[in-house]
Amino acid sequence: MRAPQHVPADNLPSHVTIYEVGPRDGLQNESTTVAVQVKAEFIGRLAAAGLRVIEATSFVHPKWVPQLADAEELLDRLDRVEGVRYPVLVPNERGLDRALDKGVTDIAIFGSATETFAQRNLNRSVDESIEMFAPVVARARESGLDVRGYLSMCFGDPWEGDVPIEQVVSVGARLLDLGCSQLSLGDTIGVGTPGHVTALLGAFAAAGVDTESLAVHFHDTYGQALANTLAALQAGVTTVDASAGGLGGCPYAKNATGNLATEDLVWMLHGLGIETGVDLPALVETSVWMAGELGRPSPSNVVKALSA
């Protein structure tokens, strides 16, 4: 299987952590229920391909995301690999209770930079959502869990339009102040461009936020995800969210098409000489298999090229 030629570039990190979101963010919007044994095998294959952070599921109420109603059963079925983290999304204290009951060690909360999406996704204002998250983060930290914060609509909102950079920094800083160890900046509808990425990351730095505590989460709606990722790497970011095979969207934002494909990201990173620990052929094989389970081809360009 062909591999990219290694041609390093200046001012880039030597290693990037890929935060794999396919099993949760990638599958949550599927209209057809994916069998729990398929999900478990998917996660196992991703771990075997070298991914070391794999977001497994969410403890959101099944009414809101039916696809993830099998969260407890899925965690019971996982053949955990040493050195692999399996974070889960936790919306509130009830979700945290479920996570603690299952011995989860890594959780994530999901906030919004805009009021409209906060109301649509969480049925709360931005302030109210942060109030809801505060005891979740505090209890999780007291229990020794790592907590990640997602911040959606950082680059644009389908209802509110452009989102001021200072607004994103303000809400993001509040999530970090709660005790999140990392903040993932989401381009939920994929409208961001590289200059916007550079400006936003620069604004966080100016506000005293260490770049090491930031991650990026790009959607490829307008074909900008890889370009935006490169801009983030140049700004010092070393954690990038991606979804195997380019799976995913957002059930609360119809403009949100698939996530950045993990294979496309790995091809670029390996071409730049950046270490990921990922076996690209094994990952492509996994996404081809998953595409077969879903009954449609993968949208990832690298998957299509290498599996032709």
**DSSP annotation string for 3-39:** -------SS--SB-EEEE-IIIIITTT-SSPPPHHHH
Catalytic, out of 99, 250, 284, 291: 250
In this prediction the pTM is 0.96
- pLDDT at position 280 over 60: yes
Q: 189-200 in b/e burial notation, b at 16+ Cβ within 10 A? A: bbbbebebbeeb
pLDDT band at 252 (very low <50, low <70, confident <90, very high): very low
Measured CA to CA, the distance from residue 198 to residue 196 in angstroms comes to 5
Contact (CB, 8 A) for 105 and 145: yes
Q: Please write the tens of the pLDDT for every residue from 135-157.
A: 999 999 999 999 999 999 999 99
pLDDT for residue 254: 53
- 154 as an active site residue: the answer is no
| Mean pLDDT within 127-131 | 97
Q: Please write the tens of the pLDDT for every residue from 41-61.
A: 999 999 999 999 999 999 998
pLDDT band at 258 (very low <50, low <70, confident <90, very high): confident
- Mean residue pLDDT of the chain comes to 95
Q: Please write the tens of the pLDDT for every residue from 105-117.
A: 999 999 999 999 9
| Mean pLDDT within 65-94 | 96
Domains of the chain: 17-306 (3.20.20.70)
Give the list of residues 6+ apart from residue 123 with CB closer than 8 angstroms, or none.
none
